[in-house]
Amino acid sequence: MVIACLEPLRYTQMKEKQEIRDFKSLHGAGKEEAALESKLAHPLNLLGPGGSWNMARHPVLWFILLSALIDKSHACFCDHFPWTGWSSCSKTCNTGTQTRSRQVIKNEYYWKNSCEQLCTFWETRECNRQACPINCLLGDYGPWSDCDPCVKKQFKVRSILRPSQFGGQKCTEPLVNFQPCIPTKLCKIEEIDCKNKFRCDSGRCIASKLECNGENDCGDNSDERDCGRKKSVCSRKYIPIPNVNRMSTGFNFLAGEPRGEVLDNSFTGGICKTVKSIKASNPYRVPANLEDVNFEVEIKEDDLKTEFYTDLTPIGKNKDQKTSASTKDERGVHVPIFYSSTKSQSSTQNSAFKEAIQASHKKDSSFIRIHMVIKVLNFTMKSKDLQLSNVFLEALNQLPLDYNYALYSRIFENFGTHYFTSGSLGGVYDLLYQYSARN
């Protein structure tokens, strides 16, 4: 680059009359243009006598002067030296760095154009910003507890020192270990006195009239043993409400997922109560836990979706579909609804859907898929005297008298934190229409 040192120009204010006199000294328009061309030919000629010039009245000419000086300098074109590829990230997670550099050849162009001062030859950037997976870390087992006189077991517990996060290995090993033992104390839990009721082998008390009625009211069938003549409750056999067992599951409010069976909806209580749907010819048997059930078909218009596909493979690979969903009422409470609000998993796993995927590979086809949520019934549970499931009762009976966090929290994990007092049952309407893309 050529660096020019110029002596500072002296600018003096010229009187208006002097400028007019100098201007009039030019003879004719042609001479006026010639004089201007002569001055433009050599920028230094623009300086008046003694090197003075009024910059304020000649801004355009001053710009031309600077441009002439700049044109004689040189600048480095940095992209003349290409970048290398980015290096591998210094970390696989938790934000690493990558670097790249220019491929420099220090030739005449490099030194002549001062590329060393004008160009950037090294760059860095962040990469792999996601958090690293954290594996679960369990502590050691504590000492054995005293022998519980009711369950006749003793326990030892360990805690989670570090939970799994960001896709790390989950805690799969048990937190509680137990072994049978001989208690040295008496169980302080008094056995339930069924009085004039029938006592089941599980400890449940049922009405005496339920014994030998041909129905498994105890849940373990102990009320139907050693029976002579059995008297049926209903004059005919009725089938249960479809998916009535879904109403009896618990619900983990924190995880937003259904859990194990809490209520026994196979128990009818010796009452032949039936309900008939709108289209079904045969009525259904209503369990004793239900206060009210109402068949009413309602189409969720907001959930109606129409989608167009040219390839069904992405649909078949979708593994993130659920068979249950939740809605939110006006009070802000999440109420589970026992049907999928999006694409049904069963519809994408059946043989007809798989055949459609195979057919799409053989023929140039396009598809229209229409699916919507349809509610078919509403239900309401009784507010009291609910019949609990045997599996839930057995889990409760296995708890020790002294509070044990690991064992008691496992109840919530297996059976949830709540049960359903009301809700809806329904299904998914899913139509897949295939047509030739050529037509």
Q: What is the pLDDT of residues 115-146, one digit of tens each?
A: 999 999 999 999 999 999 999 999 999 999 88
Amino acid at 214: G
329 has which bridge partners? none
Domains and CATH numbers, the chain: 16-71 (no CATH), 78-127 (2.20.100.10), 191-232 (4.10.400.10), 238-436 (no CATH)
Across 46-55, 121-130, 132-141, 183-192, least confident range: 46-55
Closest alpha carbon to 95 in 123, 125, 75: 125
| CA angle, 242 then 247 then 250, to 5° | 145
Across 69-83, 209-223, 330-344, least confident range: 330-344
Q: Which residues of 336-371 are buried (b: 16+ CB within 10 A; e: fewer)?
A: bbbbbbebbbebbeeeebeebbeebeeeebbbebeb
Question: pTM of the predicted model, to two decimals?
Answer: 0.55
What the block records as the tokens of 175 is 């937190």
Query: For 284-337, how does the pLDDT look when each residue is reduced to its tens digit (9 = 90+)?
Result: 999 999 999 998 888 765 555 656 555 555 555 443 443 333 333 333 333 333
Note the residue count of the chain.
439
Cβ-contact 298, 373 below 8 angstroms: no
- Average pLDDT of span 220-244: 88
Give start and end residues of each alpha helix (H) in 1-51: 16-24, 28-41
Q: What is the end-to-end Cα distance of the chain in Å, rounded?
A: 69
| CB burial of residue 377 (10 Å; 0-12, 13-18, 19+) | buried
Confidence at residue 413, expressed as pLDDT on a 0 to 100 scale: 86
Give start and end residues of each alpha helix (H) in 160-237: none
Query: For 342-390, how does the pLDDT look when each residue is reduced to its tens digit (9 = 90+)?
Result: 444 444 445 665 666 566 555 666 777 777 788 888 999 999 999 999 8
